[in-house]
Structure 1
Amino acid sequence: MVTRILPAVGDADAARSVTALLSRLPDTEAAPPAGDSTSLLDALAATAGESVADLPEVVLVHERIGPVPALDLIRQVALRFPAVGVVLVTADTSPGLYSAAMDAGARGVVGLPLSYDELAARVGAAAQWATGVRRHLGPGPDVLAGPGGTVVTVTGAKGGVGTTLLAVQLALAARASGRGTALVDMDLQAGDVGSYLDVQFRRSIADLAGINDISPRVLDDAVYSHSTGVALLLAPAEGERGEEVDDRATRQVLGALRSRYEVVVIDCGTQMNAANAAAVETADTALLVTTPDVVAVRAAKRMVRLWDRLQVRKAEETTTVVNRHTRSAEIHPQLIAQIVRTRIARTAVPANFRELQGAVDSGRMQDLDSRGAVKQAMWALAGELGLVGAADGADGTGRRGPAGRGRRRRGGVERHS
């Protein structure tokens, strides 16, 4: 049996050294190295999307991988692809580092400089473990394997552009289509998801920040099961507790949620910090919400540039959503696309505060009228993003409403009266 190996090495010289040594191992097939954490996760997700059996038996993670730190990357791979054996390559072979690597989910540690015998032993052990896990789990549909659930982040270009409302409606749309859905409030100092859904709950994402191993039971204790069926992980009631949630905690929490729910929607608010930067970086889809006015569009452009400078997200990997769109607006979606240099969602959300006012004032966004243009547009956007099944209409009943018909257009922007 041939052991398939995928190395993840950020340094060019180290990549050549690892590749050369792997080529000498018998009965192995080494893929070209992934140069960063994003490339590795994307490659694994693409392979798992075709067939879980095609995943490599072993992933080698070099200590100089980035931008996600090596141990955090190992934790993500272990959570999302549990039948893959991960081996850490590091110069630090101390007991503390070894213990941390095992806690993260590694199946072995190889010291630098690389030794043929040690590498062969660790790769062989990891491959044997992966093969045993796959044989034990079998091909049944209940096996957690592959990329896990879809993570969508919703970030506002500035305050007041409708970020939380959109995040809530995307989650409700996904859940109405029958998909297990979690909604996470990562506007850590001023989160309003609970207020929009008439929820008071003492647990929050901050309660998970200090936990190294988030078990299903621990996650259940922190999550509020809403009457709509959406699982809510709220922001802390005390804003200062938001500082407890760092990038490491964010990746661990999202990994646990991704392994449990088909769709995870995250309200990232408008303030950039390490936690929501990590969420945007690891998301499958990153939405940036703006309104068609000069101030908001300029803010959107600044956010896109900030993400690019910090290597959080490339402009071409970001989708901008235009909220409160009107046909008479001088700043139209195509112009916004030229300014911010991102993709623009085909679905533009119309301006109609009168439709929203009752639900906003009562704090019951789940009661928003399904016949309204705003809700239909937001649920159509959920369909455009693949969060609902093809047979699910904008009203969650399975019927194709006006928004459903508009979603079949190509190359244009949907307009809703």
Structure 2
Amino acid sequence: MTTRVLPAVADPDAARAITALLGQLPDTEILAPAGDSTALVDTLARLAADAPADLPEVVLVHERIGPVPALDLVREVALRFPAAGVVLVTADRSPGLYSAAMDSGARGLVGLPLSYEEVAQRVQSAAAWSTGVRRHLGQGGDPPHGAGGTVVTVSGAKGGVGTTVTAVQLALAARASGRTVALADLDLQAGDVASYLDVRFRRSAVDLAAIQDISPRVLQDALYAHDTGIGLLLAPAEGERGEEVTDRAARQIVSALRGRYEVVVVDCGTQMNSANAAAVEMADTALLVVTPDVVAVRAATRMVRLWERLQIRKPEETTTVVNRLTRLTEIQPALVERITGTRVARTAVPAGFKELQPVLDAGRMQDLEARSAVKQALWALAGELGLVRTEESDGDRPGRFRGDRGAVGLRRTRRKH
């Protein structure tokens, strides 16, 4: 049996050394090395979605992989792809690191400098474990896809562009279609999700910040079960406490939510910090909400360039949503796409102050009427992003959400701009 090994190494010299050593192992197929944490997770996610049987049995994570710290990356891979055996390559052989690696989900450690015997032993052990897990979970050897739920982050180019309205309506649309949904507010200093959904709840994301291993029970205690069926993870009432949610905590929170819910929508607000930057990096889809005016488009361009410089997200991997679009607006979606270098969503959202104001004042965003043009557009956007389950996917009549007879069909609501 051939063992597939995927190295994750940032340094080219180290990658060549590891690849050369792996090439000496019998019955081993070496996949193209991933140069950073994003490339590794993207590769595994693509294989999980397209060809689960081709997922590598062993993933080697070098201690200097970056930009995500190695232990955090080990934890994320172990949570999202539980049938892959993760081995950490490190110069630190201390008991403390060994314990931390095992707690993160690693199946073993390989010390630096590398030795053939140790690499062979660890790869063989991790591969045997992976094969056993796949046989047990995959029924006959087919590996489970292990990718978990879909994570969508919603960020605003600037304040007042409709970030939270977009995040809330996407979550409502996904839930109305029958999916399990979590809505996390990582606008940690000024989050308004609680106000938009008329919620008063003491617990917040801060309650998960100091927890090393977020169990399902701990996560459940921190979530507010909203009447709509959405699980809410709120921003802290005291904005200054948002600093307690570090990038590492955010990664654990998003991973835990992904493992429990089919759809996870994260409101990242308009101010970037380490926590929501980590969420954007982990997201399957990163949305950037912009209004069709010069100031907002310039702000969106700055945000996109910032994400690129910090290796958070590439422009072409970002989807821009144009909000409050009218036919008379000079700045149209095609121009926004050209200026920002992002992909602009086909579904644009029209201006709708009058229809939004009553539900915003009442804190009842869930009561926005089905005939609202804003709701129709945002729910169509949810369909475009693949967040909703439609009757077509279940072999029934296409174009209408399951579980919400009042919703307008996707085919009917999708407009051209």
TM-score range, shorter chain: over 0.9
Task: Report % sequence identity.
Answer: 73
| Corresponding residue for residue 404 of structure 1 | 411
What CA deviation, in whole Å up to 9, does each residue of 1:133-170 have, x standing for no partner? 22222339xx9742111100000011111100000000
Matched, 1:21 2:28: no
Supply the RMSD in Å over aligned alpha carbons: 1.7
| Corresponding residue for residue 284 of structure 2 | 284
Cα distance in structure 1, aligned partners of 2:323 and 2:189:
23
| Corresponding residue for residue 368 of structure 1 | 368
TM-score (norm 1): 0.94
| Corresponding residue for residue 255 of structure 1 | 255
Any idea what SS the aligned residue of 1:347 has?
coil
Any idea what SS the aligned residue of 1:110 has?
strand
TM-score (norm 2): 0.94
| Corresponding residue for residue 50 of structure 1 | 50
Offset at residue 124 of structure 1 (A):
1.0
Cα distance in structure 2, aligned partners of 1:382 and 1:139:
33
The letter of the residue matching 1:381 is: L
Cα distance in structure 1, aligned partners of 2:10 and 2:218:
34
Structure 1: segments with no counterpart, 5+ residues: 408-412
| Residue 249 to residue 210, structure 1, CA distance change in 2 (3 Å) | same
Cα distance in structure 2, aligned partners of 1:204 and 1:68:
24
Matched, 1:121 2:121: yes
| Corresponding residue for residue 313 of structure 1 | 313
Any idea what SS the aligned residue of 2:5 has?
strand
The question of whether the paired residues in 2 share the 8 Å contact of 1:4 and 1:28 is answered with yes
Cα distance in structure 2, aligned partners of 1:229 and 1:401:
20
| Corresponding residue for residue 414 of structure 1 | 416
The letter of the residue matching 2:215 is: S
Structure 2: segments with no counterpart, 5+ residues: 392-398
| Corresponding residue for residue 395 of structure 2 | none
Matched, 1:134 2:112: no
| Residue 375 to residue 58, structure 1, CA distance change in 2 (3 Å) | same
The letter of the residue matching 1:171 is: A
The letter of the residue matching 1:414 is: K
Cα distance in structure 1, aligned partners of 2:402 and 2:377:
10
Any idea what SS the aligned residue of 1:259 has?
helix
Cα distance in structure 2, aligned partners of 1:204 and 1:250:
12
Cα distance in structure 2, aligned partners of 1:186 and 1:16:
39
Any idea what SS the aligned residue of 1:323 has?
strand
Matched, 1:294 2:294: yes
The question of whether the paired residues in 1 share the 8 Å contact of 2:57 and 2:130 is answered with yes
Cα distance in structure 1, aligned partners of 2:37 and 2:124:
23
| Corresponding residue for residue 71 of structure 1 | 71
| Corresponding residue for residue 264 of structure 1 | 264
| Corresponding residue for residue 383 of structure 2 | 383
Cα distance in structure 1, aligned partners of 2:378 and 2:203:
28
Cα distance in structure 1, aligned partners of 2:416 and 2:406:
18
The question of whether the paired residues in 2 share the 8 Å contact of 1:394 and 1:404 is answered with no
| Residue 116 to residue 236, structure 1, CA distance change in 2 (3 Å) | same
Map 1:315-334 to 2 at 5 A: 315-334=315-334
| Corresponding residue for residue 205 of structure 2 | 205
Offset at residue 399 of structure 1 (A):
7.9
Matched, 1:83 2:72: no
The question of whether the paired residues in 1 share the 8 Å contact of 2:6 and 2:30 is answered with yes
The question of whether the paired residues in 2 share the 8 Å contact of 1:9 and 1:62 is answered with yes
Map 1:33-44 to 2 at 5 A: 33-44=33-44
The letter of the residue matching 1:42 is: D
Offset at residue 34 of structure 1 (A):
1.1
